[in-house]
Amino acid sequence: MHISIFGLGYVGAVCAGCLSARGHDVVGVDISSAKIDLINQGKSPIVEPGLGELLENGIKTGKLRGTTDFSEAIRATDLSMICVGTPSKKNGDLELDFIESVCREIGFVLREKSSRHTIVVRSTVLPGTVANVVIPILEDCSGKKAGVDFGVAVNPEFLRESTAIKDYDHPPMTVIGEFDKASGDVLQSLYEELDAPIIRKDIAVAEMIKYTCNVWHATKVTFANEIGNIAKAVGVDGREVMEVVCQDKALNLSQYYMRPGFAFGGSCLPKDVRALTYRASTLDVEAPLLNSLMRSNVSQVQNAFDIVAATDNRKVALLGLSFKAGTDDLRESPLVELAEMLIGKGFDLSIYDANVEYARVHGANKDYIESKIPHVSSLLNSDFDAVVNGSDVIILGNRDERFRALANNAPAGKKVIDLVGFMTGTTTENGQTEGICW
């Protein structure tokens, strides 16, 4: 494939070297003549193990060349990768001047180009950037229509400095955000030989995936540091602790806890978060991330309440009261907190939870239910149909399989609020179901 790469910084230079090594004809483009001179000499403009050899081989085989002529590079290629920088502004937002400039250059050349061209954004950009910035500029400057006259896609990179070549050749996944199927097909053909899953999504999803991965990595570093600081203060080696924590691939390093949804609860997580952060405070150890966990959890309960309140309906059915399905444990259940908020604001609340209903009569939690939350338990109703039929708003509170059908087929005239992720998408056929964070 004939590929032009705009921006020969870290990402662009690595992509140029790796793509040319795989037999593609690559034109590297940059406004810096010094970088272009280095590329054409087969030298790397950045320090990255193995990159110099790839660039040198690309020049020798004629698969790689550099130029400052944007127009010539676009005319000579079928696909352009935008790899320019997106530095931070003082307020934290992204500076998009470089991307906007490149898009204008590409757009003006596309105006005169008859063959189909595909523009791929490799730069890290916030969700909405391609739809609200990139595509409008390309269409305005070219006079053509995205997805019809030219292709657009997003292809976030997951390259770590000092291991970039290995990361390119052995990625955990390849993410393609496609504006149109033809663009996704073109990109997929670039990566099919790599031994990694190719994931094709809408453009905004791909943009968000990149940010989510990076912020998750930052969270993990911060989490490990705060655990290490507390561990040191109590005379424990935090490295030893985290080494064992990371050996658990079933829960600690899995997708089990990584699903957006409602707040956490139960007898363990809230209690243990509070205990560890309290101990940190007594040791004068700062733990800003850990200290924020309970506040964030409370805010997710408030988010659920706000969604209910926004419906302007007063008859509410809460399906599920225990903090998760398959248990009658109500200790620190966020659904109990939500129920109390609804009661306090005067909503006509009815609750269905078969496990809690059983526990109210027979279970070990009978005393807790009677002594701690009698005002909530008095609203329990064992008749599922009566609870659903007597409501205007139905809250799916835990993952009891009996509730799943309501998520994708809301009863006529009723609003369904999904807190657990039963919805198969972000919208339903009748538009009456809303997810808490989707």
Active site residues: 268
CA neighbor of 414 nearest in space, from 396, 437, 438, 399? 396
Residue 330 CA to residue 324 CA, distance in Å, equals 9
CA distance 315 to 338: 15
Nearest in space to 357 (alpha carbons), one of 371, 373, 367, 369: 369
Tokens, residue 385: 């149909």
231 token code pair: 């561990």
Closest CA to 183 of 80, 31, 294: 80
Phi and psi torsions of 418, nearest 5°: -95, 115
Give the Cα separation of 436 and 300 in Å (integer): 9
> Alpha carbon 132 to chain centroid distance?
19
- Rounded Cα distance between 3 and 254, Å, is 37
Q: Apex CA 184: angle with CA 179 and CA 185, to 5°?
A: 145
Looking at residue 65, its amino acid is R
Strand pairing of 151-154 and 174-178?
A: antiparallel
- If you ran DSSP here, which 8-state letter would residue 132 be given? I
DSSP-derived secondary structure for 163-183: SHHHHHHS-S-EEEEESSHHH
Contact assessment for residue 151 and residue 174, using Cβ atoms and an 8 Å cutoff: no
Strand, helix or coil for residue 82? strand
Specify the amino acid at residue 344: G
Which alpha helices (H) appear in 262-317, and where do they start and end? 269-282, 288-309
Cα–Cα dist 437/432, whole Å: 15
DSSP state of 130: I
Q: Which residues pair with 118 in a beta bridge?
A: 79, 151
- Residue 140 near residue 173, CB atoms below 8 Å: no
Round to whole Å and give the CA distance between 209 and 126. 10
What separation in angstroms does the CA of 6 have from each of 13, 20, 235, 369?
10, 15, 52, 64
